[in-house]
Structure 1
Amino acid sequence: MNKEKRYEILSRLRANNPHPTTELNFSTPFELLIAVILSAQSTDVGVNKATDKLYPIANTPEAIYALGVEGLTHYIKTIGLFNAKAKNVIETCRILIEKHGSVVPESREHLEALPGVGRKTANVVLNTAFGWPTIAVDTHIYRVSNRTKLAMGKNVDKVEEKLLKVVPAEFKVDVHHWLILHGRYTCIARKPRCGSCIIEDLCEFKDKTE
C-alpha cells in the first residue's frame, strides 16, 4: 500500500471519530491498568460489568490489595481466567504500593515488570492514560492491518513495528483505537461488513463482501 492511500485511510478514520478512546470504563490510570489486565482474553463489556461493581468499592492499590485474592475474585469471577487475574492484580497492587508510591508508573520498563502486564497492556496504558504514540496490536488490529494491507506482518510484534514505521506522527496517538473499533464493528473476522465500510474503496482485501 502506498503512503498516499494509507494517509487517506487514516484521514477518513479520524474524520469519522476525531477523539477515540478505549471502550473500557475508567477514570484514573490505575483503573485503566486493572481493567486492561482483566481484559486479556475477555470482552470489554464483560470487564466493564465487573469493574462497575468493583471500583465503587475499591479503586486504589491499597483498597484492592486489602480485598485479597478471595475478596477480589468475588467481583471478577464472571471474567475468564479470573483466578490467575486476581492473583496478578493483587501482586500488582502490592508492587505499586511498595515501589511506586501507589502511582502507575509512566514507564514501559516498570509497567512490564508488573504481573499480568505484557507489551500490549503497557502500550494501552502508555497510550490511553499518558498520551504516548504507542500502538497496542491485538487480534483486531492484526486482522485489519493485514487484511487491508495497511501494515502487514506475520505476528503482532511485526505489525506493531510496521505500523510505527508507516503511520504518520499526526495519527499515531489515535490509530490504536481507530483500528480496534474498525475491527470490532466493521472489519469483523468471519464476514467483514465491506458494504458499510468507510474505507472499502481504499482497502486492498481481495475477498470483499457485498
Structure 2
Amino acid sequence: MNKQKRTEIFRRLREENPKPVTELSYSSDFELLIAVILSAQATDVGVNKATNKLYPIANTPEAIFALGVDGLKKYIKTIGLFNSKAENVIKTCRALIDRHESQVPQTREELEALPGVGRKTANVVLNTAFGQIAMAVDTHIFRVSNRTGIAPGKNVLDVEKRLIRLVPQEFLLDAHHWLILHGRYTCIARKPRCGACLIEDLCEFKDKRDYI
C-alpha cells in the first residue's frame, strides 16, 4: 500500500469521526489507567459497567487502595481475570502513592513499571490521557492493519512500529482510535462488513464480502 492510499484512508476516517475517543468511561487520568488495566481480555462495555459502580465509591489511588483486594473484587467480579486484576490494581495504587505522589506518570518506562501495565496499556494512557503519539495495538488494530494492508506485521510490536512509521503525521495522534473503532464495528473478525465500509475501494484485502 502506498502513501496516497493511506492518506485517503485516514482522511475518510477523520471525516466520518473528526474527534474519536475511547469508549471506556473515565473522568481523570487515574480512572483511565485503572479502566485500561481492567480492559485486558474484556470488553469496554463490561469494564464500564463495573467502573460505573466503583468510581462513585473510590476513584483515587488512596480510596481504591483502602478497599483492599477483596473489597475491590466485589466491584470487578464480572470482569474476566478479576482476581489477578484486583491484585495488580491494588499494587499499582500503592506504587502511585509511594512513588508518584498519587499522580499517573507520563513516561512509558514509569507506566510499564506499574503492576498490570504492559506496553499496550501504557500506549493507551500516553495517547488518550496525555496527548502523546502512541499506537496501542490490540486485536482489532492488528487485524485491520494486516487485512487492509495499511501496516502488515507478524506480531503486535511489528504492527505498532510500522503504523508509527507509515501513518501520515497529521493522522498519527488519533489513528489508533479510528483503527480500533473500524475493527470493532466494520472490519470485524469473522464477517467483515465490506459492503458497508467507507474504505473498501482502498483496502487491499483479497477476500472481500458484501456483508453489511
Q: Distance in 1 between matches of 2:209 and 2:55?
A: 42
Matching of residue 181 in structure 1 with residue 170 in structure 2: no
Give 1:76 shift: 0.1
Aligned counterparts, 1:1-210, within 5 A: 1-210=1-210
Give 1:115 shift: 0.4
Once the two structures are superposed, residues 138-160 of structure 1 have per-residue CA deviations (whole angstroms, 9 ceiling, x without a partner) of 00000000000000100000000
Q: Distance in 2 between matches of 1:11 and 1:34?
A: 32
Q: Distance in 2 between matches of 1:49 and 1:13?
A: 28
Q: Distance in 2 between matches of 1:136 and 1:35?
A: 15
Match of 2:122, SS?
Answer: helix
Query: Does structure 1 retain, via aligned residues, the 8 Å contact 2:144–2:183?
Result: yes
For 2:51, the aligned partner's letter is T
Unaligned stretches of 5+ in structure 2? none
Give 1:168 shift: 1.4
Once the two structures are superposed, residues 2-49 of structure 1 have per-residue CA deviations (whole angstroms, 9 ceiling, x without a partner) of 100110001000000000010000010000000000000000000000
For 1:65, the aligned partner's letter is F
Give the alignment's TM-score, normalised by structure 2: 0.99
For 2:93, the aligned partner's letter is C
Q: Distance in 2 between matches of 1:125 and 1:65?
A: 20
Give 1:166 shift: 0.5
For 1:134, the aligned partner's letter is A
Using the aligned pairs only, state the percent identity.
75
Match of 1:173, SS?
Answer: coil
Size of the alignment, in residue pairs? 210
Give 1:169 shift: 1.4
Displaced runs of 4+ in structure 1, greater than 3 A? none
